């Protein structure tokens, strides 16, 4: 079951008896858990029928005993187990999940890892309740996440602004959500809410002209002057523009460009389908890249990016600074 579907069901009070929420991305696990805490038990009854346990303090048998109690004052009892990855005998919960109490909603937070899907607990939970794996969002899908996140808040975002935020914030979903909430709040009095590059620049501290998005754009059309101007700006503002982040943007782009070059359909629609992009705006850099870079050049550049990454970490590099490594890499890309 997908994240949105799980949330909609909870909002509509269609509760599953068991939720096993696992995976590397804690944001979605926390969101689902917070929604359960809001929706399952009325506020007046939470002292009696809402119980939070911690995996470091308990064994599976204690979770089962708690889950088998009846609610005291409300329709459901909610039992949340945080840090469930620390419950050593967690597989024992399969005995409860096989025949859960219909008056109990049991939420298991298993963060930063996953249960073995071949074992009983995961298999039975998938049949009897919700087994949700919260995965890290790939960098190139972050703009789509930003768009959908804001849509829930009746707010639009300019594609360039979404890309600026994605490049600056990476795939730290918790941080992204906080910044988006802040931007959405600034527009709360507006009839038509739309986040623009100017709003991002004024409130997040990202320059709309000198950022990774604009640097990549310059590289894709081989605009030497603009690329070097941005590189000089980065050299003067190293803390705001770390080389590792820039290299990550380049690596993701050229890796995806190589996929496009060997794709059967290199049209705008074809690229969107191949890479799972959410808007035509995101295809512009790839369409330009197909014009200006051969597959061999792209393959070599991916190797150059890896080399620059290693050198930035001190491997085979005696003295070159991050700014010098960037300028050297840009020369290889632009010539």
Examine the domain organization and report whether 147 and 247 are in the same domain.
no
For 196-227, write each residue's pLDDT tens digit.
Answer: 988 988 888 788 888 888 999 999 999 999 99
What's the rounded mean pLDDT across residues 279-302? 92
In this prediction, residue 153 carries a pLDDT of 83
What pLDDT is attached to residue 33?
A: 96
Global confidence as pTM: 0.70
| Residue 191 and residue 125 share a domain | no
Residues 234, 170 share a domain? no
When mean pLDDT is compared across 17-31, 200-214, 283-297, the lowest value belongs to 200-214
What residues have CB less than 8 Å from 229, skipping those under 6 apart?
210
CB-based contacts of 54: which residues, under 8 Å, 6+ apart? Answer: 81, 82, 83, 86
Question: What's the structural domain count of the chain?
Answer: 3
Spatial separation of the C-alpha atoms in residues 159 and 71, rounded to whole Å: 48
226-271 confidence digits (pLDDT tens): 999 999 999 988 887 889 989 999 999 999 999 999 999 999 999 9
Per-residue confidence band for 144, with pLDDT thresholds at 50, 70 and 90: confident
Domain that holds residue 84: 3-8+15-134
- CA dist., res. 176 & res. 246, Å (int): 18
Task: State whether 242 and 271 are in the same domain.
Answer: yes
């Amino acid at each position: 079951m997908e994240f949105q579907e799980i949330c909609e069901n909870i909002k509509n009070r269609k509760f599953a008896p068991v939720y096993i929420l696992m995976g590397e991305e804690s944001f979605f696990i926390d969101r689902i858990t917070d929604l359960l805490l809001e929706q399952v038990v009325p506020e007046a009854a939470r002292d009696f029928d809402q119980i939070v346990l911690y995996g470091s303090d308990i064994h599976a048998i204690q979770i089962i005993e708690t889950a088998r109690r009846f609610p005291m004052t409300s329709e459901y009892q909610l039992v949340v187990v945080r840090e469930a990855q620390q419950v050593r005998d967690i597989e024992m919960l399969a005995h409860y999940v096989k025949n859960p109490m219909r008056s109990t909603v049991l939420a298991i937070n298993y963060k930063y890892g996953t249960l073995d899907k071949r074992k009983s607990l995961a298999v039975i939970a998938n049949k009897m309740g919700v087994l949700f794996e919260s995965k890290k969002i790939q960098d190139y899908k972050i703009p789509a996440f930003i768009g959908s996140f804001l849509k829930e808040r009746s707010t639009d975002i300019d594609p360039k602004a979404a890309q600026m935020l994605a490049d600056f914030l990476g795939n730290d979903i918790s941080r992204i959500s906080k910044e988006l909430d802040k931007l959405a709040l600034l527009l709360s009095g507006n009839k038509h809410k739309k986040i623009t590059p100017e709003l991002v620049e004024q409130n997040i501290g990202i320059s709309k002209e000198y950022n990774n998005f604009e640097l990549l754009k310059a590289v894709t059309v081989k605009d030497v002057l603009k690329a070097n101007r941005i590189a000089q700006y980065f050299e003067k503002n190293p803390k705001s523009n770390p080389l590792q982040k820039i290299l990550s943007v380049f690596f993701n782009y050229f890796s995806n460009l190589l996929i496009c070059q060997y794709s059967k359909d290199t049209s705008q629609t074809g690229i969107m389908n191949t890479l799972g992009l959410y808007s035509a705006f995101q295809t512009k850099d790839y369409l330009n890249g197909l014009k200006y870079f051969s597959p061999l050049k792209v393959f070599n550049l991916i190797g150059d990016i890896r080399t620059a990454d290693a050198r930035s970490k001190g491997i085979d590099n005696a003295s070159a600074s991050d700014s010098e490594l960037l300028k050297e890499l840009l020369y290889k890309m632009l010539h």
